[in-house]
A and B are shown apart, each in its own frame.
Chain A
Amino acid sequence: MVGKHKASDYVIDGVIILVMLIVLVVVMYPLLNALAISLNHADDTARGGIGIWPREFAWESYRNVVNNTITWRAYGVTVARTVIGTVTALFSTGIIAYGMAHSNLVGRKFYAIFCLIPMYFVGGLIPMFLLIRAMGLFNNFWVYIIPTQIGLFNIILMRTFFQTLPESLEESAQLDGANYLTIFFKIIIPISTPIIATIALFIGVFHWNDWFFGNVYITNPALRPMQNVLMGLVEEARFAEMMAAIAGQGGGGMGAALAAAGRGRPTSVRSIQMATMFITIIPVIIVYPFLQRYFIKGIMVGSVKG
């Protein structure tokens, strides 16, 4: 902004800063409050009025979650599907995007339309469910990996990036007798860090946060990822409340009933729920600020080409 500031400018500045502060509080308060609950002694939490800082510090909820084998196993499933799913999907998406970036590709137009149609017209939940069932992927770890190999939108993002690479790179390698496969692995992949980071973040976050596959295709608890353990906790808590309500423990209602069941212990259903939630979301929360420039770039490319 150039030159003098008028009084009205300061009013506008004030309003904008105020709105921004409100946004920050609305975004952060529920999370900080949950963090405080997870770190507070349950008896004290039951008295109410917990803000964003624990009044009576207690680590037990986290100790409880960390010592739980179910959590460890689920965490392992989440990590495994995220790593395997991201690496394999990057490869699958990368090869087709690289091929389609070539203007001399025979059938290029056909391939492009072939990839475009399913972006607007999808088969939907039920045919997909039956297909995966017919493939024998029920209660099978590979159900996380196989049906999630190629995202059509990611093809467009990667292809756009590959199209910006100089042709001379490829031509000189071809003169040396390298074929496209060699060029892709030896030359293209090493110089494509920006797009690989962008797509890896998108796919990685999808895998880490996905609950649908674990809910619909998996009944074996050993194959359940973290998100579904969280969902199980919600369901268990609701069940416990219903039971308490049905038992009708006098005038205190279900709150009193639940409190009575856990009185004196540093943890409660709620503090353990919040601790589990934080343990689930923390890796993503720590990673995303460092990858900002990558996903911002990815979104911009997508908006131009999408």
Chain B
Amino acid sequence: MNDTLAVPLRKKPWYIRLLRQWDLQLLVIPPILYILVFNYIPMYGIIMAFQEFRLGDTMGMSEWVGLQHFRDLWADPNFPRAMRNNIVMGLMRIVIGFPLPIIFAIMLNELRSIKFKKTTQTISYLPHFISWPAAGLLIITFLHVDNGTMNNMLMSMGIISEPIGFFIRSEYFWGIFIVTHIWKVLGWEAIIFVAAITGIDQELYEAASIDGASRLQKIWYITVQGIKPTIIILFILTIGSLMSTSFDQIMNLTNMMSNTMLRERAEILQTYVFRTGIGQRRFSFASAVGLLNTVINFILLLSANWISRKWSETSLF
């Protein structure tokens, strides 16, 4: 989309071109200023992690305390616990939660009935559209110790004799976390792989059939190889978010962390930021926790990207 009229051989200086396209700039500059305010000011606000912010202070102008908050964090027994839970649940999300949508997408592709495939897929992403407060309420009710459907089923099948207190004792939390995570994302995260599979050249399958390839061989050598770049890109993104997501889920499964019985296994860095920052108003300390979390994410993303570029020539940037 170029200015077709009167384009001289030599480009005009940028400010002349800028003035000439004032109407185009008018569409871009206000949103850019918006991004400056709502994305860059908070980024600048991170320096409060090295200061002692008190309500009423102008952001960034508080008293400097250096690494004090990070030292406090180091000494805080909540910190290693949150770190452990973060890593354990993040790894569960990667090791269990990442391959399942791929397997699901491949299986969908192998279904012979188009109607059954479409219906299954549509129903599979229903949970994605249910909010976490609604999903949390549903899950807590379903697993309730008192006349919850899950306990009733297990008791009537004779698997247990006493109802299990799923949300009363923390030892079940990691299991509940990963199962409900998969329930919520399986269909939605499969969409991208289903689309990638659709893009594979059908002739490859036919050629393989003629060569006598079995169905499993075709799945492995054509389907899986065909969607490998998509898998790698999404794997990088997933590793980059190892320590950051699941905040909504955990908050809504623990009554905003007020269910203290679950904290031992449920607390992650983000919920700790929320509790100390929003709850106890320790803004600077919470910012320090948040900054640590951001930096870890960033390093993870860069290393995943680097490894992937070295090994497979596919990378994010």
Say yes or no: A24-B123 contact (C-beta < 8 A), given A2-B209, A230-B133, A230-B137.
Answer: yes
- Name B18's contact: one of A106, A111, A174, A277 (CB within 8 Å): A106
Closest partner residue, chain A, to B155 (CB atom): A48
Say yes or no: A274-B25 contact (C-beta < 8 A), given A127-B41, A167-B1, A300-B192.
Answer: no
Question: CA of A99 to CA of B23 in the docked complex: distance in angstroms?
Answer: 9
- Cβ of B312 under 8 Å from chain A: no
A104 and B42 form a contact (CB under 8 A): no
Closest partner residue, chain B, to A171 (CB atom): B4
- Name B132's contact: one of A107, A209, A216 (CB within 8 Å): A209
Closest partner residue, chain A, to B273 (CB atom): A125
Interface size on B, residues (CB 8 A): 102
Q: What is the minimal beta-carbon distance from B23 to any residue of chain A, in angstroms?
A: 4
- Cβ of B77 under 8 Å from chain A: no
- Name A134's contact: one of B18, B59, B126, B130 (CB within 8 Å): B59
- Name A235's contact: one of B30, B187, B258 (CB within 8 Å): B258
Q: List A residues 1-50 near B (Cβ within 8 Å).
A: 1-3, 6, 8-9, 12-13, 16-17, 19-20, 23-24, 26-28, 30-31, 33-34, 37, 45-46, 48-50
Contacting chain B: which of A56-64, A79-87, A281-289? A281-289
Question: CA of A255 to CA of B278 in the docked complex: distance in angstroms?
Answer: 34
Q: List A residues 107-141 near B (Cβ within 8 Å).
A: 107, 111, 114-115, 118, 120-131, 134
Q: Which bracket fits the contact residues of A? A: 35 or more
Cβ–Cβ < 8 Å partners of A167 in chain B: 1-2
Q: What is the minimal beta-carbon distance from A25 to any residue of chain B, in angstroms?
A: 10
- Cβ of B159 under 8 Å from chain A: no
Contacting chain B: which of A65-73, A178-186, A191-199? A178-186
Cβ–Cβ < 8 Å partners of B107 in chain A: 16, 19-20
- Cβ of A246 under 8 Å from chain B: no
B136 and A234 form a contact (CB under 8 A): yes
Cβ–Cβ < 8 Å partners of A120 in chain B: 298, 301
A100 and B111 form a contact (CB under 8 A): no
Question: CA of A216 to CA of B281 in the docked complex: distance in angstroms?
Answer: 12
Say yes or no: A118-B39 contact (C-beta < 8 A), given A130-B45, A255-B147.
Answer: yes
Contacting chain A: which of B79-87, B89-97, B283-291? B283-291
- Name A23's contact: one of B186, B192, B209 (CB within 8 Å): B186
A99 and B28 form a contact (CB under 8 A): yes
Closest partner residue, chain B, to A94 (CB atom): B27
Q: What is the minimal beta-carbon distance from A16 to any residue of chain B, in angstroms?
A: 5
B255 and A235 form a contact (CB under 8 A): yes
Say yes or no: A121-B104 contact (C-beta < 8 A), given A27-B126, A180-B27.
Answer: no
B278 and A129 form a contact (CB under 8 A): yes
- Cβ of B76 under 8 Å from chain A: no
Say yes or no: A126-B134 contact (C-beta < 8 A), given A34-B142, A95-B31, A167-B2.
Answer: no
User: Is the contact region of chain B dominated by helix, strand, or loop, or is it mixed?
Assistant: helix
User: A121, A124, A296 — which one has the most chain B CB atoms within 10 A of its CB?
Assistant: A124
Q: What is the minimal beta-carbon distance from B266 to any residue of chain A, in angstroms?
A: 15
Say yes or no: A49-B152 contact (C-beta < 8 A), given A17-B111, A99-B27, A129-B277.
Answer: yes
Say yes or no: A150-B31 contact (C-beta < 8 A), given A49-B156, A211-B133, A299-B195.
Answer: yes
A123 and B111 form a contact (CB under 8 A): no
B31 and A96 form a contact (CB under 8 A): yes
Question: CA of A235 to CA of B140 in the docked complex: distance in angstroms?
Answer: 11
B195 and A300 form a contact (CB under 8 A): yes
- Cβ of A267 under 8 Å from chain B: no
Cβ–Cβ < 8 Å partners of B21 in chain A: 104-106, 180
User: A93, A101, A102, A174 — which one has the most chain B CB atoms within 10 A of its CB?
Assistant: A102
Question: CA of A121 to CA of B40 in the docked complex: distance in angstroms?
Answer: 10
What 0/1 readout, one digit per residue, does chain B (142-170) give for beta carbons within 8 Å of chain A? 10001101001000100000000000000
A170 and B1 form a contact (CB under 8 A): yes
- With A95-B30, A227-B131, A230-B137 already in contact, 6 other A-B pairs whose C-beta atoms are closer than 8 Å: A104-B3, A118-B43, A124-B273, A127-B46, A234-B133, A295-B191
* Cross-chain pairs A/B with CB under 8 angstroms, 7 sampled: A31-B126, A101-B1, A106-B17, A118-B40, A118-B43, A179-B23, A211-B248
